[in-house]
Chain A
Amino acid sequence: MGNPLRTAQDRRLPRIPEPCALVIFGVTGDLSRKKLIPAVYDLANRGLLPPGFVVVGFARADWGEGDFESLACDAAKKGARTPWREDVWQRLSSQFQFVPGSFDNDDDFDKLAETLDELRERNGIAGNTAFYFSIPPAAFPLVLNQLNRTGLADNSKTGGWRRVVVEKPFGNDLATAVALNQLVDDVFNPADVYRIDHYLGKETVQNILALRFANSLFEPVWNSKYVDSVQITMAEDVGIGTRAAFYDASGAARDVLQNHLLQLLALVGMEEPTSFDPQEVRAEKLKVLKAISLPADIAKGSVRGQYLPGWVAGERAVGYLEEKNIPPDSKTETYVAVRLGIQNRRWAGVPFYVRVGKRMPRRVTEIAILFKKAPHLPFDPADVEMLGNNQLVIRVQPDEGVVLKFGSKVPGTAMEVRDIAMDFQYGEAFTESSPEAYERLVLDVLIGDRTLFPDAAEVEQSWRVIDPLEAAWAGTTPEPYRAGEWGPRAADEMLAREGRAWRRA
């Protein structure tokens, strides 16, 4: 029997998870402090958490109970998007527990299990627990084995559901990704594994689906007959920050191309799912990922770059090789541009130019659909000199919105056509108060909605795209580009060879 007070028509009532516990491994880490704890506070503040919601933090640090509380409080205050309300925090933090311990100590995990049982007893939570792995992948086997040993991951023991949340990197190549997936699937049910790609939690990314499948205007031209090419850009103005060790071992392609950008590509390229059931959406995304083709000559169809010292946004920036803890002879890329294709009837022959980079002039992520030029222009060639491709641009961040670029007559007595941009922006305040990606995703985990989480097959398929690229790049030196530039010149030349140019994002 369903809840008689809830009906599908009553869309004012928000979705609220069943009473449950959230266990965060690595709770003192960067991600947890910057994103996770603030997201939990925001959810509580919006009244979206169930009564009796419990958070258990587990980490290696030698923190006392009080230290942890002040750390969590500072983190929530700093990262929260909703106004600070002391009473909400007080009530939430009274349901916070910190269990110090190390991942290889059996006693510590027994203590965790005890604490959890106690809390669940007190709050009437029927076993429902989500485990958030905010830890390096190297620690996964240890923690998973501990969960297995203590029966924490076992549904049959206490009933309710068990879910596990895994952050990127999902492996370092196909082999490690498969091993990791197997490891997690061994302990948990594959359907209970939630892989976070926070890009999918963004409002605009979800809007891609609305734009494509709720309108009749765009779908007819969404194919190789009308689309000349697609450019997907993710530019960051920052450098590598404090992630030197991780970044130097992986590079831009493994760091973001494998996950965020291929997911964006999948959403833009996929066919219409039969319904918005998670299974159906994933099936369509997977089909596109499987159809991705690499350039015939990877050396010609891709460009790797590495930033030199320069100036970004009025400040001096050091080069990649001068960054702290980066070996001076590092050949890791901080910029990648690659020409991909999708081999199916809809997209045959349409290049998908994908580029990511650090220390670019500004922070922007966007997807630009460039349409073919009109087959015939009944104008004097001089009059349409300034007319480019029609474009539909989906801006993911910042200034979430959609831009449509098309030709229009310049007012005056002569016929002169040039491009204008029609800009739709979600109100600025709207984007600010709209939930942060993590907030949405944490809520989805607790509710059990898997739509916005890529599954193991998608992750593995994405590695099948990246692995050959990495293999071809092995031993090569990335092209240098000055910090504050739109990447190496070779990337411009790559498009120029095909008579195209990068859109200035």
Chain B
Amino acid sequence: MIGLWDTTGNEVVKALAAERRSAGGVASGLALTLIAVVEEKKVREAEAAATIAAAAHPCRVLIVVRSDLDGRSRLDAEIVVGGRLGPAEAVVMRMYGRLALHAESVVIPLLAPDVPVVTWWHEEPPNSIANDFLGVVADRRITDSAQAADPVAALKQRAVDYAPGDTDLTWTRITLWRTLVAGAFDTTDARVVGAKIVAPEKDPTAWLMLGWLKSRLGIEPVLEHTERAPRMRSVELQCENGDCVRVTREEGTALFSRTGQEDRYMPLPKRPVGDELAEELRRLDADQIYADALGAMAGVSGLEHRSPMRVHVWKDPTLAARAASATDAMAG
């Protein structure tokens, strides 16, 4: 590991090359570059997740922490090849002051040549990805609405801001749910006429589940709020022939019940973020089914026709803050 304090982008590039050489035998293939945009207190968490994901997808991990925008411009970097972060090679960069607004100037030279770039926000998702050059440069963008103060609003904003290649970890979290629900209809031709989802009010996964069922089945699922469960509690589908299929979460397992059959338990574990990230990295093309579900849930159509390329829109948060305080002052 090399630590560089108050350094420059070029020094980081050189140090990474030196570390790779001295580590030896790193000619093994890189499948992608993963940029993780993280806030300081979540760096360890992001590192742990990236380590798990890198085990399945050999990649270069660039962790970017941006803070203290008003301070002096400064770059600190930590370079790890092999070792703590498993098979990945990683650079953790902390950027302060105005430099933080130009993180791409440090990050772009560090991208592995000609392999896909994936940007993952392990913090509140940006309102508009076009404002963050680290998102514009990526082929795939992964947000996590659950990290926002209002997760459901954040998820709906993802639909407004959507471009093919975006996904949200909310979607990844319901893959196992969807597998169970879809599996129920492998052996029957019963038409589904209604659905009920029971979940806490602020659970974005329930909304995405609703969007998915709506887009695939053309029904209007009902969302029932409960305060008794911390996460989505159950999904119930009513069939035309009167049958009912229900999947209920019970601490790491799912109770699968269907009219006329014995209840059954299936595994439904909560996966670590690293596993979720690994699932995302498996596919680097646009997820059409997610787009359909997201659009149906937010009531926005035509998501798949948007351009996958974003154009960077410069937005200076300090100016915006100043403007906001000026308006406040005028109002006051």
Partner of B25, one of A4, A12, A52, A423: A423
In whole angstroms, what is the CA distance A14 to B187 when docked? 16
Q: Which of B97-147 contact A (CB under 8 A)?
A: none
Least CB distance from B59 to A in Å reads 9
B183/A9 in contact, CB under 8 A: no
Judged by a CB distance under 8 angstroms, whether B149 is at the interface is no
Asked if B268 CB lies within 8 Å of chain A CBs, one says: yes
| Cβ–Cβ contact B54 & A427, under 8 A | yes
Knowing A51-B183, A427-B87, the reply to whether A12 touches B178 (Cβ < 8 A) is yes
Across the interface, which residues of B come within 8 angstroms of A122, CB to CB?
262
For A424, the closest partner residue in chain B by CB is: B29
Q: B41 — which chain A residues lie within 8 A by C-beta?
A: none
B181 within 8 A of A: yes
Instruction: Judge if B324 is at the interface, Cβ distance under 8 Å.
Output: no
Q: Which chain B positions have C-beta within 8 A of A44?
A: 267
Say whether A16 contacts B186, CB under 8 Å.
yes
A429 and B56 within 8 A (CB) = yes
Interface string of B153-171 (1 = CB under 8 A from A): 0000000000000000000
CA distance A428 to B260 in the complex (A): 46
Q: A87-B252, A427-B54, A430-B55 are in contact. Are A5 and B185 (CB under 8 A)?
A: yes
Contacting residues, chain B, for A124 (C-beta < 8 A):
258, 260-262
> Is A275 interfacial (CB-CB < 8 Å)?
no
Query: From residue 49 to 81 of chain B, which have CB atoms closer than 8 A to chain A?
Result: 54-58
Q: Does B217 reach chain A (CB closer than 8 Å)?
A: yes
- Cβ of A126 within 8 Å of any chain B Cβ, yes or no, is yes
Contact residues in A for B267 (Cβ distance below 8 Å): 44-45, 47, 85, 87-88, 91
Q: State whether the Cβ of B323 lies closer than 8 Å to any Cβ in chain A.
A: no
The docked-state distance in angstroms from the alpha carbon of A424 to that of B87 is 13
Beyond A19-B187, A427-B87, whether A7 also contacts B289 by CB under 8 A is yes
How far does the alpha carbon of A433 sit from the alpha carbon of B55 in the complex, in Å? 9
With a CB–CB cut-off of 8 A, which chain B residues contact A126?
187
Pick the most buried of B54, B178, B179, B268: most chain A CB atoms within 10 A of its CB.
B179
How long is the Cα–Cα vector from A51 to B256 in the complex, in angstroms? Answer: 8
Within 8 Å by CB of B217, from A4, A87, A123, A426, lies A4
Q: Verify B289–A10 contact, CB threshold 8 A.
A: yes
User: Contacts of A429 on B, CB cut-off 8 Å?
Assistant: 55-56, 86-87
Q: Roughly how many angstroms separate A428 CA and B283 CA in the complex, as a whole number?
A: 20
- Shortest C-beta distance, A150 to chain B (Å), equals 25
Q: Is the CB of B179 within 8 A of A16?
A: yes
Q: Is the CB of B266 within 8 A of A13?
A: no
Residue A503 is within 8 A (CB to CB) of chain B in the complex: no
Q: Does B189 contact A (CB under 8 A)?
A: yes
Residues of B within 8 A of A7 (CB): 216, 289
Closest to A94 in B: B265
Instruction: Assess whether B28 is in contact with A9, with CB atoms less than 8 Å apart.
Output: no
Is A3 located at the chain interface by the 8 A CB criterion? yes
> Are B29 and A47 interface neighbours, CB within 8 A?
no
Contact B266 A47 (CB under 8 A): yes
Closest to A126 in B: B187
Q: Do the beta carbons of B178 and A5 come within 8 Å of each other? A: yes
Chain B residues proximal to chain A, CB less than 8 Å: 25, 27-29, 54-58, 86-87, 172, 175-176, 178-183, 185-187, 189, 192, 216-217, 252-253, 256, 258, 260-262, 264-269, 279, 283, 287-289
Q: Give me the 9 closest cross-chain CB pairs, A-B, nearest first.
A: A429-B55, A5-B182, A51-B264, A10-B289, A124-B261, A427-B87, A3-B185, A425-B28, A424-B29
16 contacts between A and B (CB under 8 A): A4-B185, A5-B182, A6-B185, A7-B216, A12-B172, A13-B178, A16-B179, A47-B180, A47-B266, A51-B183, A91-B253, A123-B262, A124-B261, A422-B27, A423-B28, A427-B56
List 13 additional A-B contacts (Cβ < 8 Å) besides A6-B185, A126-B187.
A3-B182, A3-B185, A4-B217, A12-B289, A47-B268, A51-B256, A52-B264, A87-B267, A91-B253, A91-B265, A424-B29, A428-B87, A430-B55
